[in-house]
Chains A and B, each alone.
Chain A
Amino acid sequence: MPVGRKLFFITLAIVALAVLDQLFERGFGDLRINPYYARIVSLAGINITLAVSLTLINGLAGQFSIGHAGFMAVGGYAGTYLTVYHGAAIASFLGGTPLEGPGSVLVMIASLAVAACAAGLAGLVVGIPSLRLRGDYLAIVTLGFGEIIRVIILNIPAVGGATGFTAALPITSFFWIFGVALLTIVVVRNIATSTFGRALGAIRTDEIAAEAMGIQTTRYKVVAFVISSALAGMAGALWGQLFANPLNPQNLNFVKSIEVIIMIVLGGLGSITGAVLGATTLTVLPEALRTFDQQFPGLRMVLYALLLILLMIYRPQGIMGRRELSFAWLRRSTRDDGPAAPAAGAGKDAADG
């Protein structure tokens, strides 16, 4: 895509997000979004970032990380710490406070950047030793890492310890949540469709053959892991600074990591579209099932589990499989003679050899 068109799309996305953000915050005329629904939409956006970023490492590179919540916690606490302790100073560069005025934009960007760097660095430290090896080491190391981070946070009074980071400022908004989600989707998609995506695919299917074809398997696994962690860190910063949402280490334990894994498996492991669908479904579904709560308390989680089991029995490859919803795919599926066209050239090509 030429630079001009790229800038056009970026501007378009920012304008669209800003308009939606205003509608989301202020409503349209007398119509206002129910705060409960608004919260579900916000959480869905953050979960999309988490799921799509995990797709990079679990889906594309075929490694099994079960510590995504750990990187989310590192990013969340680092980003929130910056806002709480240095937010006012950062905001004063452009004027305003962390919550209002042009300075608030700078605070959010700084918070997200610090979150991404901190989580990315944690990803590097965890990834280098564990990704040198093949097999399940990464799963064990990331599981342990998630718990270590949780225990460390519990013991830092500056960030609230066990009571949670209640000093956090609610600077997260619709704009930033979906801006980061969009950024994550674009980054992961561009990697997936590039030569690096194929290199990761090669690592996933056959590491020995990938090495023999000159692919630096350890390096690419680490790079994918660092990018994935950094994006999860940004999701953590958004999550930690969501309105009325004190960061609490208990909410960022391995159950959260497993939840993200369920999202991408449900959506179709390796598919970005699937990750988006899975994240949305798993955010909305438990809430939608609350309608049963009054008559049959507790039935909600039973139904939730049952739906997941049924889906895995009847569609083990997930909603999307490895497919993506793209223009090329829509074109192919609406045209019947698609695959026949290239096959016609077979005879001619064979004659050349």
Chain B
Amino acid sequence: MAEAARAYLLDVRNVSKRFGGLTAVRNVSLQVPAGTVYGLIGPNGAGKTTVFNLLTGVYAPTDGQILFDGTPIHGRRPHQIARYGITRTFQNIRLFSDMTVLENVMTAHHLRTAQNIFDAIVGTGRSHREEREMRERAMHLLSIFGLAGLADEPATSLPYGSQRRLEIARALATRPRLLLLDEPAAGMNPQEAVGLMDTIRWIRDEFSLTVLLVEHNMKVVMGICETIQVIDHGESIATGTPAEIQSNPRVIEAYLGAC
């Protein structure tokens, strides 16, 4: 089974997170195979966003291990985790509000630059070359998301759906291997949600990504996820294909309450 263990890009082993007396996440394990779209669902307050915060280093787990491609990453700082290749979007959009659309994406490219601050102060060839490359890559990402024409607009002037797409573009600029999407379809109308599903599938293939998403829109989750894991009260209650999850009595109970 050594082969199979290696195939998991993200391997979360028995992770718990306690805030004082409150256990937000209890003994959750999560195995995400490389190249899949993996869904994490659960009722409000189930601990999904806490799991995201544990994965991205916002919180350190109280117990357990998180392995990314075999490397332990629990307890690392968010910027270190971004360097390993995990980036996220936020449930309540967190764009850099006083920057333009283009600058938002270029800012996220910063992680992959080689220059130091003296290159920038002196204005060395390296800093100019990287600046040009960053701009080109950012424009390329924007054109993928149909935002290139709005490159010089303030990021916050975009409509809500476009801001969500810009956040994904920004996340991709850090060149992740694992993309975490926190409720990407929130606030989108049904058409936009269908468009988003196509986009997620497309970027997964184009950038050879693995996608882990938290989502309340069941149409989206059932439509694109190969595997779904259900969390309730901080505990994992089921893992399986969309069809298995839809017919699982524990899941139905968690969502509809005890009958």
Chain A residues with CB under 8 Å of chain B are: 1, 6, 187, 190-191, 194-199, 201-202, 204-206, 208-217, 223, 227, 322, 339, 342-347, 349-350, 352-353
Contacts and interface: CB of A to CB of B under 8 A. Distances in A.
Contacts of A187: 121
Contacts of A206: 94-97
10 contacts: A190-B121, A191-B121, A198-B103, A201-B99, A206-B96, A209-B94, A209-B95, A211-B79, A216-B79, A342-B152
A349 B83 CA distance: 30
Nearest to A208: B94
A214 B79 contact: yes
Interface of B is mostly: helix
B64 interface: no
B111 interface: yes
Interface in B1-48: none
Contacts of A194: 115, 120, 127, 131
Contact of B146 (A1, A196, A350): A350
Interface of A is mostly: helix
A191 B120 CA distance: 6
Contacts of A1: 123
B94 A211 contact: no
Contacts, number: 131
Contact of B107 (A190, A201, A223, A347): A201
A166 B78 CA distance: 51
A353 B151 contact: no
A215 B81 CA distance: 11
Q: Which A-B residue pairs are the 5 nearest by beta carbons?
A: A346-B149, A214-B111, A214-B82, A349-B148, A194-B120
B97 A205 contact: yes
Interface stretch (B137-145, B208-216, B223-231): B137-145
Interface of B: 56-58, 77-79, 82-83, 87-88, 90, 94-99, 103, 106-111, 113, 115, 117, 120-123, 127, 130-131, 134, 142-152, 170-171, 173-174
Contacts of B95: 206, 209
A198 B121 contact: no
A212 B82 contact: yes
Contacts of A344: 149
Contacts of A217: 79
B230 to A, nearest CB: 25
Given A190-B121, A210-B107, 13 more contacts: A191-B117, A191-B120, A194-B127, A194-B131, A205-B99, A211-B79, A212-B87, A213-B170, A213-B174, A215-B111, A342-B151, A349-B148, A353-B143
Given A198-B99, A208-B58, A213 B111 contact: yes
A352 B78 CA distance: 33
